[in-house]
Structure 1
Amino acid sequence: MLQLTASHIDSLAPNAAAAKNGRDLVKKNKFVKLNVSEEGNLLFGECLGSGKSNYVCSVDFVTPENPVARCSCPSRQFPCKHALGLMYAYADGLTFEQATVPEDIASKREKAEKREENKSKRESGELPPAKPKKVNKAALKKKIAQQLEALDELEKLVLSLVRGGLGTVDARTVKTLNEHAKRLGSSYLTGAENELRRLALLLGQEDRETGYTYASEQLTLLNAFIKKGRSYLRSKEEDPELKPDTESTIEEWLGHAWQLAELKEAGRVSENVQLLQLAFYCYQDEARKEFVDTGFWLELGSDRVHRTVQYRPFKAVKYMKEEDSFFSVAQIGELYRYPGGLNARVRFEGMLPREVTDADREAAIGAASASIADAVKAVKNQLKDPLADRAPVALLKASRIARTEDGTYALIDPSGATLELGDVYRLPQRTTPLLPLVAPELLEDCCVLAMFEHRMDTGRLVAQPLTLIRGNEITRLLY
């Protein structure tokens, strides 16, 4: 029998408005037909619409971890409010009459089964594999030449900024940086485009002291990319058949969008993984001109903390599913890992939720590092690579979180070592001011998910608490 909960349906909704509209359809009794297949894996029905004809909608759970929603309405959101309403009606216990699977859905199921069957046969060798895409060497060389030329121009710009000094930067300089960023995008250097635009934002902000501090780091970042990017592109120019680098982030800097098939071929996929989300936040990235939904997930049975990232361009935001906090355990058939460091980005195409158990919370506590020194060492090793993520996240054990003499907070590990807690620049929300509001017992013998940052102005490493875990309680400060 199909098991559906309101929280699972919420996670499938493209945004909060669609979820609310779906619930309202149920409350207003807009569904004139509610059907379920004999196998119990297909919901379908009809809903009153604004026109003469009812909207025909369905949600197919033949693949439970990746349900398929269909509707005759003109909405460009998937699932639409009618499909969501159908699921909410089922979760609320409304009566669904058993009926035969409609012919059009049965036909689509057959086609999908055939595709999966052919895919399995190719993977097992029963069918010849799909022909690999041929590399257009002439086009590739032209693209690489354009990228190398753009790197030369970027290097001249960076050197001129360094020679002139950041104190000479004015509105005209900021405008020049933004114009140059557009040219980088046209030259297939989208990663550099975003970071140059980020530099322009830093130099244009009113708080010049903070802006200049991080602008210096941004210049170092761009300089490192120029050197690494040039070396990598020249190697590729000499060998057009050279496979993408699957260990570093250089490909993304050079504008490569990883396909799941590429990650699988590179062995960057894990099967039957269970993830527990420990933190989530969304922010507006003006440099990328996108909303960014970010989640940090613990892979149960290991100590790895992964990162999910969804980019929603400002121009297309209303057509894209907005991610949200997830409070269940995600059971995933195939987890794809992007190249990266401590918190490599991951993707999955479908999942089945289940309730969090005490065993899951115990696993999370067991995955935490008992030594601040070990965690700091891993963080510093990542920060040595200028192209790596500048704000890694780690899970640490704490004997207590205490207020210091100067009024700040510190994490004290079981050996007595201390780690300064504070709000990091790269995180859009503050969380340390919330610590006085947390029940005191939750700050004793707990685990802390923290985001690290190296402060250029003080030369110190600081950590911002995101989540507290103690016993059977998971307290999110950021969600």
Structure 2
Amino acid sequence: MIDITETYVDSLALNAAAVKNGRDLARKNSFPKLCRSEDQTLLFGECKGSGKEPYRCSADYAKPDNPVFRCSCPSRQFPCKHILGLLYAFASGAPFQTEQVPEDVADKREKAEKREEKKQAAGAAGTAPSAAKRKTNKSALVKKIASQLEGLGLLDKLVRQITQSGLAGIDPKTLHMLEEQSKQLGNYYLPGAQAALRELLLLLQSEENREAVYTEAMDRLTVLYALVRKGRERLEARQDDPEAPMDAASTLEERLGHAWQLAELREHGRVLPEAELLQLAFRSYEDEARAEYVDEGWWVHLQSGAVYPTRNYRPVRAAKRMKEEDSTEAVVKTSECFVYPGEMNPRIRWEAALFREPGSGDYAKVRTAACRSFAEAVKTAKNHMKNPLGEKRPVMLLHAARLHKADGTYVLEDDTGKRLALGDADWSGRGSTELLPLLKAEHTDNQTFLVMMKHDFQENRLQVQPLSLITDTGVVRLI
């Protein structure tokens, strides 16, 4: 049995409403029967419902990193409030009597074990689906590529139209026309290109400093131009050879609309085995260009010190029916951590995991992984920013000898005396520098910071925003 805490149960809930409903069931003693198996791998019970018969729910931890939840209620929410209530009751110390595993659960466990045995036997014989080479439907792929090339032609036309008319000459009527044409890109299997164009159009709709808007817009146009050029090269090459391998090093395939499957990532060796990860920062925001909510966490891989993001996308229209991710302070242990294509800060995800409380040794690993040379860090960040399709807001760990104020601005200073001025990098309106005066005196010397960098085109300088502070004993989150 894993350590079931209220924080862990919170992380399972679909949203805040599910958390409240589950907690209410446990608080109101809505479970006339609470049981656990002798080996403590199964929690089960009965919860009062609206009908005559109570709902029977269970949480099966036969595989601690991949629990199975079951409930007889008709709810489409998963895990439902009854399962959450069962777990909250256990976390709060409610008495659970020891009983034998119910027959229906035992039968389901047996069937699951047989399926796993067949899968392992097939894998040993080399006949498992994951071991077989993925087959490509050539005719469907050729049609899709032809459609994507047509879509890139439309995007090229729109980019040239914007460039030739001049940014200052784009009035509300023209913007509306461009917005309508951008919707057409959705018909050409180019969601990434469509989102990039909508980002530009949303920027041009801004009523803020027009000079700053135009400067930022030129960078967005450069991204779109590079996407058209490199996208065409890639698609034409695949059109000539549909069996050509996917580009698993950059984000180009994803920008062109490819949704990477975990089996593909495994085939390309993009897996961190037996990974331990510690979350250092978290935020949720709305991505207007994609019409999605994004739950984004920033994690450090404790074995290597590399910094990776996780991103959970929830379409705005379906957000209420999808699980909303939350922040966590626990160390995540997973046998397979999948790494998506990308250069700096590639996205990661995992399917099953265990959790443990972090210790001083974990924080020491994070601090050891931090870059101590600001000159080296800036060079690395700028090299990635120069790539039109590269990471525009790289995140890294920096060791700072001092955090102090200079000429009215907070700065980080490394061991050589090189300084980095701190500011808010326009990260969806999430400021953090305003919290720096609240830090304790012992947090200003010889500390490690997780920072996000961005090129300020208006001032032609690097903006550095602190996201969190990692001390010997914990993480101080600034967003």
The code of the aligned residue for 1:95 comes to P
- TM-fit CA distance, 1:2: 4.6
Distance 1:473 1:138 in 2: 55
SS in 2 for 1:108: helix
Residue 111 of structure 2 is aligned to residue 87 of structure 1 = no
What aligned pairs does 1:36-55 form with structure 2 within 5 A after superposition?
36-55=36-55
Aligned amino acid, residue 431 of structure 1: S
Structure 2 counterpart of 1:259: 261
- Give me the whole-angstrom Cα distance separating, in 2, the residues matched to 1:115 and 1:381: 49
> Are residue 404 (structure 1) and residue 406 (structure 2) matched?
yes
CA contact (8 A) 1:177 1:196 kept: no
Partner of 1:138: 139
How far off is 1:404 after superposition? 1.6
Amino acid at match of 1:188: Y
Q: 8 Å contact 1:2–1:40 — kept in the other structure?
A: no
Name the stretch that deviates more: 380-389 or 206-215.
206-215
In 2 relative to 1, CA 246–2 (structure 1 residues): closer, same or farther, beyond 3 Å? closer
Map of 1:165 onto structure 2: 166
Specify the code of the residue in structure 2 equivalent to 1:181.
Answer: S
Secondary structure of the residue aligned to 1:241 is coil
Query: What is residue 193 of structure 2 aligned with on the other side?
Result: 192
Whether the 8 Å CA contact 2:265–2:338 is kept in 1: the answer is yes
- Specify the SS of the correspondent of 1:31: coil
Report the Cα offset of residue 353 of structure 1.
1.1
SS of structure 1 residue aligned to 2:32: strand
Does residue 152 (structure 1) correspond to residue 157 (structure 2)? The answer is no
The one-letter amino acid of 1:219's match is L
Structure 1: gaps spanning 5 or more residues: none
Q: Secondary structure at the match of 2:427?
A: coil
Cα deviation code 1:252-282 (max 9, x no counterpart): 1111111111101110011111101000011
Confirm whether residue 345 of structure 1 aligns to residue 344 of structure 2: no
User: Is 2:10 the counterpart of 1:5?
Assistant: no
Contact 1:370–1:414, Cα closer than 8 Å, also in 2: yes
TM-score normalised by length of structure 2 = 0.96
State the alpha-carbon separation in 1 of the partners of residues 213 and 315 from structure 2: 25
Partner of 1:287: 289
> What is the DSSP-based 3-state SS (H/G/I as helix, E as strand, rest coil) of the residue aligned with 2:375?
helix
Which residue of structure 2 lines up, in the alignment, with residue 422 of structure 1?
423
Q: Is the 8 A contact 1:148 1:233 kept in 2?
A: yes
Describe the shift of the 1:227–1:2 C-alpha distance in structure 2 as closer, same or farther (beyond 3 A). Answer: closer
Distance 1:127 1:252, change over 3 A: closer
Residue 278 of structure 1 aligns to a residue in which SS? strand
Deviation (angstroms), 1:142: 1.4
The one-letter code matched in structure 1 to 2:425 is: V
Letter in 2 for 1:432: T
Deviation by residue 1:340-375 (Cα, 9 ceiling, x = unmatched): 122110000121111110111111110101111111
How far apart, CA to CA, are the structure 2 residues paired with 1:116 and 1:322? Answer: 30
Counterparts in 2 of 1:249 and 1:379: CA distance versus 1, 3 Å: same
- Structure 1 CA distance, aligned partners of 2:137 and 2:316? 33
**Which residue number corresponds to residue 434 of structure 1?**
435
Any conservation in 2 of the 1:177–1:197 contact (CA below 8 Å)?
A: no
Q: What is the match of residue 316 of structure 2?
A: 314
3-state secondary structure, aligned to 1:121? helix
Cα deviation, residue 51, structure 1: 2.1
User: How far is the alpha carbon of 1:133 from its aligned partner?
Assistant: 4.8
Q: Provide the C-alpha distance between the structure 2 equivalents of 1:166 and 1:121, rounded to a whole number of angstroms.
A: 62
Distance across 1 between alignment mates of 2:391 and 2:111: 42
Identical counterparts, % of pairs: 51
Shift of 1:185: 1.4
Matches within 5 A, 1:1-400: 1-125=1-125, 127=127, 129=129, 132-207=133-208, 208-400=210-402
Q: 1:129 Cα deviation (Å)?
A: 4.6
2:98 partner letter: Q
1:445 corresponds to 2:443: no
1:52 Cα offset (Å)? 2.1
Q: Secondary structure at the match of 1:291?
A: strand
In 2, Cα distance between equivalents of 1:434 and 1:33: 48
Distance 2:243 2:425 in 1: 42
* Structure 2 residues not aligned, in runs of 5+: none
- Name the SS for the 2:294 alignment partner: strand
Given the superposition, is the C-alpha separation of residues 5 and 199 from structure 1 closer, same or farther in structure 2, using an over 3 Å criterion?
A: same
Measure how far apart 1:170 and its partner are: 1.4
* Alpha-carbon distance change, 174 to 104 in structure 1, aligned in 2, over 3 angstroms: farther
Distance 1:81 1:55 in 2: 11
Q: For 1:466, what is the secondary structure of its paired residue? A: strand
Q: Structure 1 length normalisation: TM-score?
A: 0.96
Q: Which amino acid is the alignment partner of residue 236 of structure 2?
A: R
Take 1:142 and 1:347, find their aligned partners in 2: how far apart are those partners?
Answer: 31
2:305 touches 2:365 (CA, 8 Å); kept in 1?
no
User: Could you tell me how far apart the structure 2 residues matched to 1:230 and 1:262 are?
Assistant: 23
Provide the alpha-carbon RMSD of the alignment: 1.5
1:184 to partner: Cα distance: 1.1
Q: Residue 247 of structure 1: SS of its match in structure 2?
A: coil
CA shift for structure 1 position 134: 3.5
Letter of the structure 1 residue corresponding to residue 86 of structure 2: L
The total of aligned residue pairs comes to 477
